[in-house]
Chains A and B, each alone.
Chain A
Amino acid sequence: MQKDKGFRRRVITLIVVVLITAAVVAVYLAYGVHSRSNLPLIVPKNARWFYHFQSKSVDEAARKSTDSRPLYYDSLYYTLIKLPVLHNVKDAGQPGIYLMTDIVLFADENGWYAALTVTSEEKLNAFCRDIVPSDLIDKPVVKPEFTYVKSKTRNLYFAYKHKACVFYIPSDTAINIPGAEAALKSVFTQKDSSIYSNQSLQKLYDKDCQVVFWGEGIGHGVALSGEYAQYYYTDSVRNSKPLSPLYLFHKVGINYSETDVERILNKKNQIKSREYLNQTFKAMYNYLKLFVK
């Protein structure tokens, strides 16, 4: 029972991180900015789990198959731009973040993180200082390794330095500023090796997977360039006996009826790349919509 609760909490927190990240991606959705970064280098080798959504190549893959975007794209976009934190954003460059680069989520022993690429530290300073409504965040705190702001309403921190920014939610729900600063310092301090040095994970990138997930020694990647989403696993057992394509979506809160499953999957249990994206956007939307009333 305890294990179930822990898992649920972990999944919920993952989703919170996803939605925070997605909030920032909003401006991409509005303005169509494109770029790419080496952002996963920020993830320490001892991360408990890691999720990498290569937004640009996902978007390119989606455009290959059809001109029209997945159904939930529209809903996600209109929800994201209504989020309070983005109300004063007038153009894509304003926050100083590359908003359609990779989205990287990870967790370590301290908490959960969502990372995006910074384009201009100066603009990001201005965004945190002047643009985000003052009832949402505290004033920026400058540390030698990073600058951060704390949410006024949640136990949530946003830190940045040079080319990376990170949203951080401590696993301990009690507010502990020195602890949070120490955790962020460990992320922003140069590392001897990152998660990229994990050889089994590299194999997924070699398969051109646009979405990569790794956790507890097992990982999987999803390649979306073809008509159907192609799943690859880091272990051979799972490769021969793959999970249902809807398993992880169900785990993050999407309920599927029998009719839905029949509509979404073909008889070979495959999901179209476009539908995979649709379900991804739906998962993000399902959590973000609760923040817009």
Chain B
Amino acid sequence: MSISATIKKLLNERILIIDGAMGTMIQKHKLTEEDYRGDRFRNYAHSLKGNNDLLVLTQPQIILDIHRAFLESGADILETNTFSANSISMADYHMENLVWELNVEATKLARQAADEFTAKNPDKPRFVAGSIGPTNRTASLSPDVNNPGFRAVNFDDLRLAYREQVQALIEAGCDLLLVETVFDTLNCKAALFAINELKEEMNSDIPVMVSGTITDNSGRTLSGQTPEAFWNSVSHGDIISVGFNCALGAEQMRPYVEELSRVAWINVSCYPNAGLPNEFGEYDDTPEGMAAVLESWCKEGWVNIVGGCCGTTPDHIRAIADSAAKYKPRKVPVLSLS
């Protein structure tokens, strides 16, 4: 059975668990500028601290250990450490030439960890999802308050940037692609366009997940869409799941997950933050508290994939996995032609 078919089969059988926050886990290491640089970029002309995606080249052991910790806690799906590994985001560090290498090396690390755990227990196969972030620019909003017509990036720029990233992720052996933290649906559409182009060119059937971000209690994405509008905008994209992640804690995200569950005719995913950040920028939701909220969603039959975003640790994922294991996945509605 192909990986794609295996994933689809498993999604019918149980709620799959996606891993937790890579950034939070990296922060625990309190890495310095020198750590980020490693040997290869020791003399690099620009500051590199904060370029977490670069760590797959300069501190691969840290990333590998984080992957292993999330697998140990029960994650079925590992995200590659490639959230910003696209030429648009990497331009901030003058490292757009590294996009391919970052995505390939990140996939190799996640692949290594996932394969280790699958070999230990073939009954619980682990999967690698290529993380595709929104970039640091928005195609449908102006960053210049004095010039509403200005756009810092256009659809074609995004399409080309995503093509480069996605091709590397597929070539390197990802099982899934995850277009996540979508705050601007037009950015997401550029990613889906690039993915569909490449799937055809590369004769790939790699499944694609999309996860949007409700930015605040307005219940809308940054580009102004409600959950239903967001779903309607991406439903054409040949995707296996749609959902939400980041920005909100589990409690705040409840109504939006419910709404999405009501309207989407594919699998629904959700991996919220561990609450809202406190005054120190830290996340306070405990593993038990967060798992209890997500368990209520599982009980309601709203979700097929759950996990954690910012602030979530392996302990959070373990608690969520234990809770989700008690319930059947959401039954995906079959569309009627009448």
Contact = CB atoms under 8 A, between A and B. Distances in A.
Interface stretch (A69-77, A92-100, A121-129): A69-77
B156 interface: yes
Given A290-B171, A293-B104, A293-B171, A258 B154 contact: yes
Contact of B156 (A258, A289, A290): A258
Across the A-B interface, give the 3 residue pairs with the lowest CB-CB distance, nearest first. Answer: A71-B97, A75-B97, A257-B156
Given A290-B171, A293-B171, A293-B172, A255 B163 contact: yes
Given A282-B97, A293-B104, A255 B45 contact: no
A255 B167 CA distance: 14
Given A75-B97, A258-B154, 18 more contacts: A71-B97, A74-B97, A75-B100, A257-B156, A257-B157, A257-B160, A258-B156, A259-B153, A259-B156, A259-B157, A282-B97, A285-B97, A285-B100, A289-B101, A289-B104, A290-B171, A293-B104, A293-B171
B96 interface: yes
Interface in A254-293: 255-260, 282, 285, 289-290, 292-293
Contacts of B108: 293
Contacts of B160: 255-257, 260
Contacts of B171: 290, 293
B198 to A, nearest CB: 12
Contacts of A2: none
A259 B154 contact: yes
Contact of B101 (A71, A79, A256): A79
B94 interface: yes
A189 interface: no
B98 interface: yes
29 contacts: A71-B97, A72-B97, A74-B97, A75-B97, A75-B98, A75-B100, A75-B101, A78-B40, A78-B101, A256-B160, A257-B154, A257-B156, A257-B159, A257-B160, A258-B154, A258-B156, A258-B157, A259-B153, A259-B154, A259-B157, A260-B157, A260-B160, A282-B97, A285-B97, A289-B100, A289-B104, A293-B104, A293-B108, A293-B172
A138 to B, nearest CB: 28
A293 B96 CA distance: 19
Contact of A71 (B96, B100, B154): B96
Contacts of A72: 97
A68 interface: yes
Contacts of B96: 71
Contacts of B163: 255
A283 B321 CA distance: 46
Nearest to B96: A71
Interface string B96-125: 111011001000100000000000000000
A75 B96 CA distance: 10
Contacts of B172: 293
A188 B68 CA distance: 56
A75 B101 CA distance: 8
B220 to A, nearest CB: 28
A78 B96 CA distance: 15
Contacts of A293: 104, 108, 171-172
Contacts of A68: 45
A256 B153 CA distance: 14
A285 B168 CA distance: 13
Interface string A6-50: 000000000000000000000000000000000000000000000
Contacts of A256: 160
B270 to A, nearest CB: 33
B42 to A, nearest CB: 13
Nearest to A74: B97
Contacts of A255: 160, 163
Contacts of B156: 257-259
A175 B274 CA distance: 61
Contacts of A79: 101
Interface in A49-75: 68, 71-72, 74-75
Interface string B143-179: 0000000000110110110010000000110000000
Contacts of B157: 257-260
Interface string B42-61: 00010000000000000000
Contacts of A257: 154, 156-157, 159-160
B174 to A, nearest CB: 13
Nearest to B152: A259
Contacts of A282: 97
Interface string A95-129: 00000000000000000000000000000000000
